[in-house]
Structure 1
Amino acid sequence: MSDYIHWSLKGAGISLRSCNVDEIINERPNIRWCEALVDAHLVEGGEALHSLERVRHQYPVTLHGLGLALGSTAPLDTGYLVRIRALADRIDASWISDHICFTSLGNCFSHELLPLPYTEESLDHIASRINQVQEFLGRRILLENPARYMSYNHSTLSEGEFMAEMARRADCYLLLDVNNSYITEHNLGAGALDTINSLPPERVREIHLAGFDSRADYLLDSHNSPVSEPVWALYEEAQKRFTCAPTLIEWEQDVPQLSVILREVRRAQRIMRRIQGNRRLI
């Protein structure tokens, strides 16, 4: 199986949104790559796809999905996979990522990233489905840890142990969302740094950073604010372990001026430079 990974991809990128895509195309800001949501571009034509193709001529592009439902028990949606493969080929996507979760039960789609129990049975199930998807797409994919708001009493593995073993069994790569790890630690007490230290460095190919909302008794993964200081501190530890892992700034709700997001990009790049001995990233 081919990796279909553009290993030259490095530095910090941003998630594309309709409100900033024209500015990205016209101003060509100093970013290294962009991420596009798979489910917003699975069409034959239209402005969103046209803009994505224009961006692709200026920056490498990755595809990030929400709908593979790898932890679900319903049969994989081959029609969905056909469209993902066609889009990835059309824009020469650097890689494709999705989440470690289930999102559907029967014909009901939750529109939420529902957590799996971390058990041997879940490992067998999701590893098998990842293998099927990778075989169909002809490439390895990246899987991301979701923010968690509940846990299962019968889980027998930590999140880090589950992710590491899943990557080994499925021969896939990992996308570490540092913000999600911090949220999970706050909400459930699962150590974020323990998760980071459990992941094999050779499997982590991307890092996500984002903001959260603080509610009465929990944190919500909202992607509508700057990265918090505790998450930045955790990110530094992650970069020490996963040196050179490309980093994405996710800002998807209440999207501000592009200049605000670019400040987050520059901070991530400064951290990477410092940790990696001032190697050139931008």
Structure 2
Amino acid sequence: MSDYIHWSLAGTGLSLRGCNVDEILSERPDVRWFEALVDAHIVDGGERLHNLERIREHYPVTLHGLGLALGSTSPLDTGYLVRIRALADRIDASWISDHICFTSLGNCFSHEVLPLPYTEEALDHIASRIMQVQDFLGRRILLENPARYLGYNHSTLSEGEFMAEMAERADCYLLLDVNNSYVTQHNLGADALDTIDCLPPQRVREIHLAGYDERDGCMLGGHNNPVREPVWALYEAAQKRFTGTPTLIEWEHDIPDLKDALRDVRRAKRVMHRAQNGLRKPAGVPAQGVRSPG
């Protein structure tokens, strides 16, 4: 299997959304790369694919999905894998990422990122399926931690321990979603800094930043707001451990104007620069708020 990763990809990227394509192409913002949703682009033609190819003429592109269903027990969808491989080849994708989750049960596909129990049995299962997918695609993939709203009583491993061991067994890479880690910490009490400390730096190849929602005491990883201050503080810690790791500002809903999205891109750039140069956080940027009380 080829280690098909564009190691030259660096700096800060942004989610690619159709409403911003024309503005991106006319203004050519200072963004190092864009991330496209797999499931929106595995088509034979049409405007979305055309726009993706237009963006690819000027920027590197990564592919991000939730349809691999690596934690599910249903057979892997080879037709889906064929289409992903064809799209990745067509646009010369820098890498492909998905989630540590199950999304299907039998013939029912949930379109949700559903969490796994963190057990040895689940580790064996998902590692085996990751290896099958990587063999089929001919490249290593990146797997992302989901935002979690429930835990399993029979879990025997922490999230960080599970991710680290999964990456080792499957020989895959990791995508650390800092916003999701903070949401999980708030909802379940799982220490986000412990998760970061568990992950082997050589396996973490991308970081996601996004905004969350709060409803009735529960935190939701909605990816529909600017990055919040506690997540920025956690990102500072992540960049100290995974210095220089490419970082994406992720939006899924309530997409802002491009100029507004670029504010977080620029701030992520500054955090990365400080980590690379060993600089302290400037005055006026709060460091507190990483850990939820209790």
Answer whether TM exceeds 0.5 for this pair.
Answer: yes
Query: Could you tell me how far apart the structure 2 residues matched to 1:207 and 1:219 are?
Result: 20
Given that residues 16 and 36 in structure 2 are in contact (C-alpha distance below 8 angstroms), is that contact kept between their aligned partners in structure 1?
yes
State the Cα distance separating 1:21 from its structure 2 match: 1.2
State the Cα distance separating 1:267 from its structure 2 match: 0.1
Aligned to 1:107: 107
Aligned to 1:72: 72
Aligned to 1:215: 215
Is the aligned partner of 1:52 residue 2:52? Answer: yes
State the Cα distance separating 1:277 from its structure 2 match: 1.2
The ranges of structure 1 where at least 4 consecutive aligned residues each deviate by more than 6 angstroms after the TM superposition are none
Q: Counterpart of 1:202 in 2: which secondary structure?
A: coil
Is the aligned partner of 1:61 residue 2:68? Answer: no
- The range that moved more, 215-224 or 124-133, is 215-224
Q: How does 1:150-169 map to 2 (within 5 A)?
A: 150-169=150-169
TM-score by length of 2: 0.94
Q: Counterpart of 2:52 in 1: which secondary structure?
A: helix
Paired residue type of 1:177: D
Q: Counterpart of 2:167 in 1: which secondary structure?
A: helix
Query: Could you tell me how far apart the structure 1 residues matched to 2:212 and 2:33 are?
Result: 23
Aligned to 2:283: none
Paired residue type of 1:104: S
Query: Could you tell me how far apart the structure 2 residues matched to 1:232 and 1:185 are?
Result: 15
Is the aligned partner of 1:206 residue 2:202? Answer: no
Give 5+ residue unaligned stretches, structure 2: 280-294
Query: Could you tell me how far apart the structure 2 residues matched to 1:9 and 1:244 are?
Result: 11
Q: How does 1:13-162 map to 2 (within 5 A)?
A: 13-162=13-162
The CA deviation string for residues 154-212 of structure 1, in whole angstroms up to 9 with x for no partner, is 00000000000000000000000000000000000000000000000000000000001
Count of residues in Structure 1 that have an aligned counterpart in Structure 2: 279
State the Cα distance separating 1:278 from its structure 2 match: 8.2
The CA deviation string for residues 18-57 of structure 1, in whole angstroms up to 9 with x for no partner, is 1111111121100000000000001111010001011011
State the Cα distance separating 1:76 from its structure 2 match: 0.1
Query: Could you tell me how far apart the structure 1 residues matched to 2:154 and 2:178 are?
Result: 25
Paired residue type of 1:10: A
Aligned to 2:176: 176
State the Cα distance separating 1:252 from its structure 2 match: 1.8
Query: Could you tell me how far apart the structure 2 residues matched to 1:96 and 1:40 are?
Result: 14
Paired residue type of 1:151: G
Percent identity between matched residues is 80
TM-score by length of 1: 0.98
Aligned to 1:245: 245
Q: Counterpart of 2:84 in 1: which secondary structure?
A: helix
Query: Could you tell me how far apart the structure 2 residues matched to 1:45 and 1:156 are?
Result: 46
Q: Counterpart of 2:19 in 1: which secondary structure?
A: coil
Paired residue type of 2:128: S
Give 5+ residue unaligned stretches, structure 1: none
Distance 1:13 1:190, change over 3 A: same
Given that residues 144 and 174 in structure 2 are in contact (C-alpha distance below 8 angstroms), is that contact kept between their aligned partners in structure 1?
yes
Is the aligned partner of 1:8 residue 2:8? Answer: yes
The CA deviation string for residues 111-153 of structure 1, in whole angstroms up to 9 with x for no partner, is 1100000000000000000000000000000000000000000
